[in-house]
Amino acid sequence: MKTLTGLAAACLACLPLSAIAAPEDTYPDKAVRIVVPFAAGGSTDVVARILAEKLQEKFKQPFVVDNRAGASGNIGAELVAKSPADGYTLLMGATGVLSINDHLYARLNYNAARDFVPVSYTTENANILVVAPGLPATDVPALIQMARTKPGELSFASSGPGSSTHLSGELFSSLTGVKLMHVPYKGSSAALTDLLGGNVTMLFDNAPSSIGFVQQGKLRALAVTSRQRLPGLPNVPTLDEAGVKGYESLSWSGVVAPAATPKGIVLKLNRAIDQILKSDDVKARLVQLGVEPVGGTPEDFARQIKTEHDKWGKVIQTAGIKLN
């Protein structure tokens, strides 16, 4: 027995360190890819690039952002879902990809609940209910009354079917009982252009893209979709404060990995990202962009994904939204 034990120990000693170390002990020892399922320049992409820069500094390995836009984020999400579960391909997920799209699309080549493990809830930002300055309704109650007297005539723009800007409008209709006409665009910039031109009545736009127009007086903000007022618009009430009780609609992002990724790697990434989000310089950069750093455990993020999945599923079912 002593001889066998000694032989086993000798064989173990001959193995390379990578063969006996836990996966997280040597992770990462090569480049890590962060897939962003949207085009470059959006808020999700910007957050991913800030994290990639800081993770590269921390781990002394490249963290590369790879934009794989298309199909409301489904192309990039599918790519990550089918990647090796080794921590070297991550997804910068968002509300639609992780909580909404399976309610919208009859067929998806990935299942967010089954194919991903949450790593970190990174950021969230509110939408702003904006209208052209010339609209007679100067507050939310007046807008609701105007919509009730003209059912189906007031229009709300969105950045596309199933987007947060679309579903924010559907939630507003559901909670107020008003009928609005949805006008989808290919992106928020086109929707903003038509709103500024007076071609549509309102837009529930992501705060980072519309707050500048509000501050310049080119658009009027009637309310924000979060439960708290925005620091950049302290005089603009929340929709809940404005009388639409229980209203909350946030755009959020977070990092997920393929489902079978070792837990040690998930926790190592989570701790690193949490530290980054709590750093003063990163918080300042994010707040300047109009987004709020969140952080927390993988379990916290899992609860957020599930809560949002159930909430938006009901809104989508009530509105009868279905995409091919």
Written as six digits, the tokens of 252 are: 């959020």
Q: What pLDDT is recorded for position 111?
A: 95
Q: Stretch 138-167: mean pLDDT, rounded?
A: 93
Are residues 139 and 222 in contact, defined by beta-carbon separation less than 8 angstroms?
yes
Report the greatest alpha carbon distance in the chain: 92
Which parts of 106-150 are beta strand (E)? 116-131
Q: Stretch 179-197: mean pLDDT, rounded?
A: 90
| Residues 254-280: tens digit of each pLDDT | 999 999 999 999 999 999 999 999 999
The pLDDT-based confidence of 6 (bands split at 50, 70, 90) is: low
Average pLDDT along the chain? 91
Q: What pLDDT is recorded for position 120?
A: 98
Q: What pLDDT is recorded for position 310?
A: 95
More confident site: 20 or 196: 196
More confident site: 238 or 5: 238
Q: Rounded to whole angstroms, how far apart are CA atoms 193 and 200?
A: 10
pLDDT at 135 over 60: yes
Q: What pLDDT is recorded for position 22?
A: 82
Q: What pLDDT is recorded for position 2?
A: 47
User: How many other C-beta atoms lie within 10 A of the C-beta of residue 158?
Assistant: 25
Are residues 134 and 220 in contact, defined by beta-carbon separation less than 8 angstroms?
no
Q: What pLDDT is recorded for position 208?
A: 83
Phi and psi based region of residue 290 (left: phi greater than 0; alpha: psi -120 to 50; beta: remaining): left
pLDDT at 9 over 60: no
| Residues 275-324: tens digit of each pLDDT | 999 999 999 998 877 789 999 999 999 999 999 999 999 999 988 888 86
Q: What pLDDT is recorded for position 242?
A: 97
Instruction: Please report the domains of the chain, with CATH numbers, ordered by start residue.
Output: 26-125+250-319 (3.40.190.150), 126-224 (3.40.190.10)
pLDDT at 1 over 70: no
pLDDT at 238 over 60: yes
pLDDT at 209 over 70: yes
| Residues 46-102: tens digit of each pLDDT | 999 999 999 999 999 999 999 998 888 899 999 999 999 999 999 999 999 999 999
Q: What pLDDT is recorded for position 140?
A: 98
